[in-house]
Chain A
Amino acid sequence: MTGGAPRRVWGLVYRHLALYRRSWPRLLELMYWPVLQMLVWGFVTSYIGGNIGAAGGAAGALGVAAGVLLGGVLLWEVSLRSQMGFSISFLEEVWSRNLGHIFVSPLRPRELVAGLACMSVVRVVVGVLPAVGLAYVLYRFGLFSMGPVVVAFIAALLLMGWAVALGVVSLILRYGAGAEALAWSILMGITPIAAVFYPVAVLPSWLQPVSLALPAAHVFEGMRAALLDGRVAWDHLAWAFALDAFWLAAMAWVFLSQFRAARVKGALLNIGE
């Protein structure tokens, strides 16, 4: 980044922080879904656990099963919130008809991406931390009990969220605000193949390579290795970050191509329409 770039990125971040300071419903919405998801899955886990316990199952196995489900819910929320934080921050500019001002300022596209990524981190922290706290208070599940490796899992899922969000923003540049529904739905749609709640091996064999092309599948295989076997699956961790690098590079290329195409077609003039 050139001189003044950190300040320009801060300018964009400040714009969104000021928005949240003045809009409590937006702030509440950040926490609402992660907490709701955690509560639903927490009670499902308690219910199933109670039934297995009544049938004479081992208490230790119950705790581990609960951990695998709740860990999956909380870590998947990192990816979801990361992607939404990035895409919705971009959409906020579209909705407020401010995008034209942003694009005629000296803010470079890479600085725009950096600002949106910062907002994504803020939204993940504000959105997921309350759910992590509640999971501990209500179900005695500590996300960080799987060890320091959880930080690497969170980082890999954040990066995956950014890669998907770059794709969503590219589609908004290509098709206008009509593509905004993707900001909410696209990552939900790949949940079945992201191996969040079950191993990749459960999927049909033809679908397994598709699943293994996602960084999330490796993160969740790694999470299960940490919770069930108490070990760090370095191979899965390495795959997760390598795939993140690949998808981020690919989506950055798509974003820059669509940005250039939007400047050729004049789409930046009327992207909100």
Chain B
Amino acid sequence: MPSPAILVEALSKRYRNDAPPAVSDLSFSMPRGATWGLLGGNGAGKTTTIAMLLGLLVPTSGRVEALGHDMARDRFAALARMNFSSPYLALPSRLSVAENLRVYAHLYNVPRAEKRIAELAEQLQLTDLLDRPSGQLSAGQKTRVALAKALVNRPELLLLDEPTASLDPDTGDWVRTWLERYRAESGCSILLASHNMAEVERLCGHVLMLKQGRAVDQGSPAALLQRYGRDDLEDVFLDIARGRRSREEAAVLA
């Protein structure tokens, strides 16, 4: 049986001794080929968790394995097989789209880089933009370029931080449809952090709810809706954020 895409055991992160932990005793195992959503309000610990999964941040305690590699000892072997996209990071704005993709094709040691770039450009409708400086693109175009960068090494594990933030509904839908198709074709595992509940409901088979650094609930979107007696995930999110109990918990307490 292959190792999970992500294995997290008793993960905690405390930035300062006199501050509460940003992530506390988090454990989960995300199977290969799955798409999971990481949900939580601002300050819930999503970014800290993703940074630890990427090896950008050293945990205070606990361990992370990505694609079977221990991130404390062997993170570069894992990083070569995964990738990341976030609207909070940018690509050098003066470089053309093709130059930016070429840089990352080199950094990820991608064989036949030019062919891969042409392939991605065609799939993500970037062919006409390849010679344009990245800084001159619209938000939607930048998102597609960021996705191309994140897919340049055909990652087995893709971490996406708010992949459709600041996009108009049409472009957001286009990105979600594309991600659905890509996942089906590639079998890639995806962990997605988002505030867009409709997006999470549509793309994710499993949702991990974080609050104050702790996993407070998890399950498939359907299971969560049923557990909280709600019609959409946004209400479940609000129930959790505001400390309202699930139906099961309420029944037990009653």
Contact = CB atoms under 8 A, between A and B. Distances in A.
B78 to A, nearest CB: 9
Contact of B56 (A19, A98, A106, A263): A263
Interface residues of B, number: 35
Contacts of A22: 94-96, 133
Nearest to A115: B107
A15 B95 contact: yes
30 contacts: A7-B106, A7-B109, A8-B106, A8-B107, A10-B106, A11-B103, A12-B103, A14-B102, A15-B92, A15-B95, A19-B94, A19-B95, A22-B96, A22-B133, A96-B93, A97-B89, A98-B89, A100-B56, A100-B86, A100-B89, A101-B89, A101-B149, A104-B55, A106-B108, A106-B109, A264-B58, A266-B51, A268-B51, A268-B57, A269-B51
Interface string A1-36: 000100110111011001100110000000000000
Given A97-B90, A101-B91, A108 B76 contact: yes
Contacts of A264: 57-58
Contacts of A10: 106
B67 to A, nearest CB: 13
Nearest to B54: A104
Interface in B145-185: 149
Interface residues on A, range: 20 to 34
Given A106-B76, A269-B47, A18 B103 contact: yes
A266 B89 CA distance: 15
A101 B109 contact: no
Contacts of A7: 106, 109
Contacts of B92: 15, 19, 92, 96, 98
B28 interface: no
A32 B112 CA distance: 39
Nearest to A100: B89
A107 B56 CA distance: 13
A250 B253 CA distance: 62
B99 interface: yes
Nearest to A15: B103
Interface string A231-264: 0000000000000000000000000000010011
A80 to B, nearest CB: 25
Given A101-B89, A266-B15, A8 B109 contact: yes
A107 B109 CA distance: 10
Interface-centre pick from B90, B133, B149 (highest chain A CB count, 10 A): B90
A100 B88 CA distance: 9
Contacts of B15: 265-266
A264 B58 CA distance: 5
B56 A101 contact: no
A175 interface: no
A102 B149 CA distance: 12
Contacts of A11: 102-107
A107 B92 CA distance: 17
A117 B99 CA distance: 21
Interface in A105-142: 105-108
Interface string B69-97: 00000001001100110101111111110
Contacts of B76: 106, 108
